[in-house]
Amino acid sequence: MAGILFIISAPSGSGKSTLVSELRRQVSGVEFAISWTTRPPRGSEENGREYFFTFREEFQRMIDAGIFLEHAEVFGHFYGTTRHSLDEARSDGNDLLLDIDVQGAAQVRAKMPEAVSIFIMPPNPRVLRTRLRNRSRAEGVVNDEEVYRRLNASRKEIENYRQYTYILVNDILDRAVAQLEAIVLAERYYRNGETIAYRSHRVLEVAAACLQINSQERLKPVLEAFGIIGESGQQQLDFGPDPYDDDVDPDDDEGDPNEDEKDTDDD
């Protein structure tokens, strides 16, 4: 059985790590490629668990030695996936999941057009801001400048959504996890003839609905909220009132579709 290569991209804070770790808990036979990066560890991250952390000089030496399948500069740091991760997953007969940015995804697709690519979107800029802040607080660093840097980059990344086979909108977590699981099971079914143990018809339907070509209606409000389609063509993202702003009542969360997603410390 040939392993399937899954590429997952998303704007930072969309919930990609959360979805991937849920997927790995629920579906066996998926390996996760640990990338190399020159960015310093965040929060409780450990070398060799979330990333292999290194320095620019070493990273450059690895580029020159042709070690990387793909690499890119994201938010001022280098990130790369080694060819070795791919070979290892192949020899184990496992599927491999790459969590990489839109530049890296384009490089991998060019080399391996058979890869299945999945783009995860946050429902709107306001929810994305809340998630980025909650994550940053959970990691013990509140850096609003960095939060806004990532928010402002989100639209550029989302603009690439058409390059991806599947699109998930990570609004309700359980639903997004079920969709991600359905995509993996459906691809195994179509490519490797693997049977689906439970409610196979439904699983295939859920996966088909996530295909990018079937998602235009579902994506419309998200693309509008990020100013990618619609008449506004806005240059600035609309985050709604900022609960951190002194003039705004923090309880006034009207219009937030994720009622359970207020800026809290207990995320």
Q: Which stretch binds ligand 5GP (CB under 6 A): 94-102, 119-127, 189-197, 247-255?
A: 94-102
Residues near ligand ADP (CB under 6 A) = 10, 12-18, 131, 134-135, 138, 170, 173, 176, 261, 267
Residue by residue, DSSP assigns 17-57 as HHHHHHHHHH-SSEEEPPEEESSPP-TT--BTTTEEE--HH
Minimal distance, residue 173 CB to ligand ADP, in Å: 3
Distance from chain centroid for Cα 208: 19
Q: Is the dihedral of CA 118, 140, 53, 84 positive or negative?
A: negative
Minimal distance, residue 189 CB to ligand ADP, in Å: 26
Give which of ligand 5GP, ligand ADP, none residue 179 binds (C-beta under 5 to 8 Å, depending on kind): none
Give which of ligand ADP, ligand 5GP, none residue 123 binds (C-beta under 5 to 8 Å, depending on kind): none
Residue 163 lies near ligand 5GP (rule: CB under 6 A): no
Residue 100 lies near ligand 5GP (rule: CB under 6 A): yes
Please, what is the angle between helix 200-210 and helix 173-192, to 10°? 100
Task: Give the chain's length.
Answer: 267
Residues 53-82 that bind ligand 5GP (CB under 6 A): 70, 72, 74, 79-81
- Give the x-and-dash track for 104-143 against ligand 5GP (CB under 6 A): x---------------------------------------
What residues pair up with 5 in beta bridges, in sequence order?
96
Minimal distance, residue 34 CB to ligand 5GP, in Å: 9
Angstrom distances, CA of residue 251 to CA of 83, 128, 129, 247, 255: 49, 18, 16, 12, 12
Residue by residue, DSSP assigns 176-204 as HHHHHHHHHHHHHHHHH-PPPSS-HHHHH
The SS3 of residue 262 is coil
Record the tokens describing residue 52, joined without a space. 């292999």
- Give the x-and-dash track for 9-38 against ligand 5GP (CB under 6 A): ---x----------------------x---
| Site of interaction with ligand 5GP (CB under 6 A) | 12, 35, 39, 70, 72, 74, 79-81, 99-101, 103-104
